[in-house]
Amino acid sequence: MTNQLCIVLDFGGQYNQLIARRVRECGVYCEIKKFDTPIEEIKALNPAGIIFTGGPNSVYDETSPHISKEIFELGIPVLGICYGCQLMAYTLGGTVSTCVTSEYGKTEIKSDSSCAVFKGVPEQNTVWMSHTDYISQIPEGFSITATSKDCPCAAMACPEKKLYAVQFHPEVTHSEYGKEILRNFLFEVCDFTGDWKMDNFIEETVAKLREKIGDKKVVLGLSGGVDSSVAAGLLSRAVGKQLTCVFVDQGLMRKDEGDFVEETFTRLFDMNFVRVNCQKQFLEKLKGVTDPEQKRKIIGTEFYKVFWDKVREEAEGGFFAQGTIYPDRIESGKGNASGKGSTATIKTHHNMVEMPKDITFDGIIEPLGDLFKDEVRQVGEKLGIPHELVWRQPFPGPGLGVRIIGEITEEKVKILQEADAVFRDEIKKSGIESELKQFFAVLPDVKTVGVMGDHRTYDHLIAIRAVTTDDFMTADWARIPYDVLAKVSNRLCNEVEHVNRVVYDITSKPPGTVEWE
Ligand code: XMP
């Protein structure tokens, strides 16, 4: 079965992935395409609805992304958002002007509930605006369906042609009825059936994987992170023992994490699970190395060396699978200085690993390539992967290697693992875990003087880090209550050997980063 498709045409705005995610949350399969995708290609995809995103530009700017009038003549419903709204007006003969007062932030609008997209939305409601241009004259055949104090056209529509446009951003949560407005467009205007469900996704993907793989083998590098774990779960359901997961444990994971990953995958899934324990080998390579970038490089290089060696030994041939997800593959529609977005960069493929020349596969399989992170998590839950793993915090590839400042030794790894486990345990017990996006301990390789009983001590300092953030591009340090900090500090000094002092990192990002190295 093929799902009905909604296309989000990307004009380079900042909320483009968010629009697609919101559409998918409504049970409608949605793909993001660049604004200059040829009309023929769009027609061939047969979408039941198209959404134009916002963009950073003015429609009169020559380098701005534009679109051919033809798109409005296909009979496919279109919803224009922000720049997309202005572009619809401009392309169809309306006028766009610069605002006397640009609108930014929460804004009251008056909308017309007899317009399909405002069905069930109270006349007076709050939306999120962010624009300096506005539609001063709507195109022929359109009517104004919402206004605000400073914007005579906060929304417009031409129901006969199924064209709708809103100056505000229904996709952000600050728009009080944004979800309803998107739902109305999808279900009242486009007649989507809402056939995009994760249960169907699992069934269909498993069937497709079986057909593609046949009786061949598949190898997957398992890191214990969300994406590779869910990919492993799906592949195991599809082809069982034909799948080999290679799990390289470099000895720089959190306390007991390697065992947890092994226990989980061998208990839950039918597959060949190969764990390579190589802490000694890694520590040997890292001996005497203190420079953060060099440490990262060594850990990365060594990781793939071990991984490919194991693949040669255990699982050469067949297919190579990886946990790439949709945001890794999306091309941005952002324009560039020289023209109309023709050289927009493709996001770095963080999952892509360079394959050694002597290893050949029949092909690459990316079973999660169409999913957003929250959908990957839903699939993981449905496959029975433990909550702890599916909702795991981000953990850097080089592991504790970038949380031990200076040279990495076995003893320091042990101290940090213990300290981190105590900190995590105390946060769990405190009931504030869900408020924190990421929290961990750091070993700054600093020794300080302390006193224990009658003895002077000279031992390690532990730093604790906890942040709140939406996207990790910026972050704030979490205001952990003092009594929780007090318990953490007490337990770290009393329970973790070689720790006699604790500090709390109160640096936001920027200027700091989340990790210390
Ligand atoms: P920074 O330290 O750059 O971290 O503020 C932002 C987020 O990225 C994670 N991080 C990494 N993740 N490999 C990864 O997969 C890495 O090398 C790496 N470095 C940082 C970090 O934990 C935080 O969530």
Ligand 1 closest atom vs CA 513: 5
Tell me whether domains 198-390 and 409-504 share a fold: no
Dist. CA 505 → ligand 1 center (Å): 16
Ligand 1 closest atom vs CA 512: 5
Q: Could you tell me whether strands 49-52 and 78-81 are parallel, antiparallel, or unpaired per DSSP bridges?
A: parallel
Which residues carry out catalysis? 82, 169, 171
Architecture of domain 5-189: 3-Layer(aba) Sandwich (3.40)
Q: Which residue has the tokens 């701005």?
A: 64
Dist. CA 396 → ligand 1 center (Å): 5
Ligand 1 closest atom vs CA 225: 15
Residue nearest atom 4 of ligand 1, based on CA coordinates: 514
Residue nearest atom 7 of ligand 1, based on CA coordinates: 472
Rounded to whole angstroms, how far apart are CA atoms 378 and 444? 37
Dist. CA 512 → ligand 1 center (Å): 12
Per-domain residue ranges of the chain: 5-189, 198-390, 409-504
Which residues' Cβ are closer than 6 Å to ligand 1? 394, 396-398, 438, 472, 509, 513-515
Dist. CA 287 → ligand 1 center (Å): 23
For 504, counting Cβ atoms within 10 Å of its Cβ (0-12 exposed, 13-18 middle, 19+ buried), the class is middle
Dist. CA 303 → ligand 1 center (Å): 17
Contact 381, 387 (CB under 8 A): yes
pLDDT of residue 357: 87
Per-residue pLDDT of the chain in tens (517 residues, 90 and over written 9): 578 999 999 999 888 999 999 999 999 999 999 999 999 999 999 999 999 999 988 999 989 999 999 999 999 999 999 999 999 999 999 999 998 888 899 999 999 999 999 999 999 999 999 988 999 999 999 999 999 998 999 999 999 999 999 999 999 999 999 999 999 999 999 999 999 999 999 999 999 999 999 999 999 999 889 999 999 999 999 999 999 999 999 999 999 999 999 999 999 999 999 999 999 999 999 999 999 999 999 999 999 999 999 999 886 779 999 999 998 887 655 443 333 333 223 223 344 557 888 888 999 999 999 999 999 999 999 999 999 899 999 999 899 999 999 999 999 999 999 999 999 999 999 999 999 999 999 999 999 999 988 899 999 999 999 999 988 888 999 999 999 999 999 999 999 999 999 999 999 999 999 999 9
| From the candidate CATH numbers 3.20.20.80, 3.30.300.10, 3.90.1010.10, 1.10.3720.10, the one assigned to the domain spanning 409-504 | 3.30.300.10
Dist. CA 514 → ligand 1 center (Å): 7
Ligand 1 pocket test, candidate residues 223, 228, 250, 472, most atoms within 8 A of CB: 472
Dist. CA 515 → ligand 1 center (Å): 6
Ligand 1 closest atom vs CA 395: 22
- 222 phi, psi to nearest 5 deg: -100, 125
Of 329, 323, 324, 369, nearest in space to 345 by CA:
329
For residue 106, list its beta bridge partners: 128
Ligand 1 closest atom vs CA 515: 2
Residue nearest atom 15 of ligand 1, based on CA coordinates: 396
Dist. CA 181 → ligand 1 center (Å): 36
Residue nearest atom 24 of ligand 1, based on CA coordinates: 394
pLDDT of residue 373: 92
Residue nearest atom 18 of ligand 1, based on CA coordinates: 396
Is 198-390 CATH 3.90.700.10? Answer: no
pLDDT of residue 56: 82
pLDDT of residue 353: 58
Ligand 1 pocket test, candidate residues 420, 438, 515, most atoms within 8 A of CB: 515
Three-state SS letters, 398-457: CHHHHCECCCCCHHHHHHHHHHHHHHHHHHHHHCCHHHCCEEEEEECCCEEEEEECCEEE
Ligand 1 pocket test, candidate residues 403, 514, 517, most atoms within 8 A of CB: 514
Rounded to whole angstroms, how far apart are CA atoms 443 and 401? 10
Ligand 1 closest atom vs CA 397: 13
Residue nearest atom 9 of ligand 1, based on CA coordinates: 396
CA 414 to chain CA centroid, nearest Å: 31
Residue nearest atom 20 of ligand 1, based on CA coordinates: 396
pLDDT of residue 331: 61
pLDDT of residue 329: 82
Question: pTM of the prediction?
Answer: 0.85
Q: Which residue has the tokens 């337990």?
A: 491
Cβ-proximal residues to 147 (8 Å cutoff; 6+ apart), any chain: 109, 110, 153, 154
pLDDT of residue 348: 32
Dist. CA 44 → ligand 1 center (Å): 40
Dist. CA 244 → ligand 1 center (Å): 28
Ligand 1 closest atom vs CA 393: 24
Q: Could you tell me whether strands 319-321 and 218-222 are parallel, antiparallel, or unpaired per DSSP bridges?
A: parallel
pLDDT of residue 336: 37
Residue nearest atom 23 of ligand 1, based on CA coordinates: 514
Rounded to whole angstroms, how far apart are CA atoms 84 and 77? 14
Rounded to whole angstroms, how far apart are CA atoms 223 and 273? 12
Ligand 1 closest atom vs CA 394: 24
The CA angle 58-85-22, to the nearest 5 degrees, is 115
